[in-house]
Structure 1
Amino acid sequence: MDMPTAITITGTRATEDRPHGEYDAIFAEYLAPFADEATHFYIGGAIGIDSLTLLWLTTRTRSRITVAVPDTAVDQPSEARQAIATAQDKGRLSELIELRHSGHPSAEAYHYRNRWMVDRSEFVIAFPRGADRTRGTWYTADYAAGQGKPRLIVPI
């Protein structure tokens, strides 16, 4: 397989169990091998893995980054808005996509956003918390599998 040039990152919102330094090490191991100037990452604009990977990619790579939110950026939690603003201020955000889903906030709105990202990607890197297949991260990984897209699952 050639290195993918369009990658969706998905993951849990619950990241408070670990110090941020541990996430830096995880991202260095699992994101860095894909992160070059030819790679375009699609990230949701939520808290947790979304915000952490956005900030990591912003400060440590030259990859292109698109953030997609289910409604608008101002509707996101403060931590997520701050991460988006940091990426914008550093000139690292290629696009901010506001999907303006009428059902936000809802699982349906997040699933819509995640499908939008996967549909534009060749590869998905998922950071799920636990094995509960009803969670959004697993939904996204399973959606990618249904499209025949390869996935890298990194349990958190």
Structure 2
Amino acid sequence: MTPYDTELTMRTVAITGTRQTGHRGLDDYTGLFTAYLQPFADSHFYIGGAKGIDSLSLIWLAGSTGAHITVVVPGTVDQQPAEARQAIARTRNRIKDVVELGAGELHTPAFHARNRWMVDRSSMTIGFPNATEPGSGTWQTLNYTAQQGKPRLIVPV
């Protein structure tokens, strides 16, 4: 089997989640990621390059698994918040690829396009929504996943 064949047979997982993570401690997120991401540790993960769940899951996956990791940003990495840029820099040696979609303006349509890009290339989505944000991009991504007929695992935070 060639590396190309391995990539074709590898499960691909999009991760989506709230940017608002201050209401829980780091140990709580470590426990959630261990419970809900570890079973998929042999997968290729697509992670948005934002703060919050994106950055936390990136750091956890890079440090706790051998998973393939692709970070996807709507514009460029330089446009991302400091927390996200730092997480990407800290884990760069573990990131397989960084995809910059080149959006000129970082508004809702650019984030939705990034989320659709990840879901379109994934076989499933794992979402970590904040229960108090029912109209969030996380829920938009989870709903788009369902519309595509793909499985989704929802882990409220």
**Cα distance, 1:4 vs structure 2:** 6.8
Q: Specify the alignment match of 2:85 in structure 1.
A: 81
**Cα distance, 1:119 vs structure 2:** 0.3
Instruction: Give the match's secondary structure for 1:96.
Output: strand
Aligned partner of 1:32 among 27, 38, 44: 38
- Bigger helix share: 2
Which TM-score applies when normalising by structure 2?
Answer: 0.92
Show the 5 A alignment for 1:55-66.
55-66=59-70
- Structure 2 residue 150 is matched with structure 1 residue 149: yes
Deviations, residues 30-64 of structure 1 (Å, cap 9, x unaligned):
0000112xx10000000000000000000000000
**Cα distance, 1:132 vs structure 2:** 4.0
Distance in 2 (CA, whole Å) between partners of 1:46 and 1:62 is 21
Give the aligned residue type for 1:98.
E
Which TM-score applies when normalising by structure 1?
Answer: 0.92
Query: What percent identity do the matched residue pairs reach?
Result: 52
**Cα distance, 1:133 vs structure 2:** 3.4
Distance in 1 (CA, whole Å) between partners of 2:14 and 2:39 is 14
Aligned residues: 149
Aligned partner of 1:14 among 20, 29, 36: 20
Distance in 2 (CA, whole Å) between partners of 1:131 and 1:74 is 29
Following TM superposition, where does structure 1 have runs of at least 4 consecutive aligned residues deviating by more than 4 angstroms?
A: none
RMSD, aligned CA: 1.3
| Structure 2 CA distance for partners of 1:87 and 1:122, relative to 1, 3 Å | same
Q: Specify the alignment match of 1:5 in structure 2.
A: 11
Distance in 2 (CA, whole Å) between partners of 1:55 and 1:10 is 14
- Structure 2 residue 67 is matched with structure 1 residue 67: no
- Structure 2 residue 40 is matched with structure 1 residue 42: no
Distance in 1 (CA, whole Å) between partners of 2:24 and 2:132 is 18
Instruction: Give the match's secondary structure for 2:94.
Output: coil
Check whether the contact 1:70–1:113 (CA below 8 A) recurs between aligned residues: yes
Deviations, residues 64-123 of structure 1 (Å, cap 9, x unaligned):
0000001000110111000000111xx210000000113x32111100000000000000
Consecutive unaligned residues of structure 1, counting only runs of 5 or more, are none
Deviations, residues 9-44 of structure 1 (Å, cap 9, x unaligned):
0000000011111100000000000112xx100000
Instruction: Give the match's secondary structure for 2:78.
Output: helix
Give the aligned residue type for 1:96.
V
Give the aligned residue type for 1:148.
G
Consecutive unaligned residues of structure 2, counting only runs of 5 or more, are 1-8
Give the aligned residue type for 1:144.
T
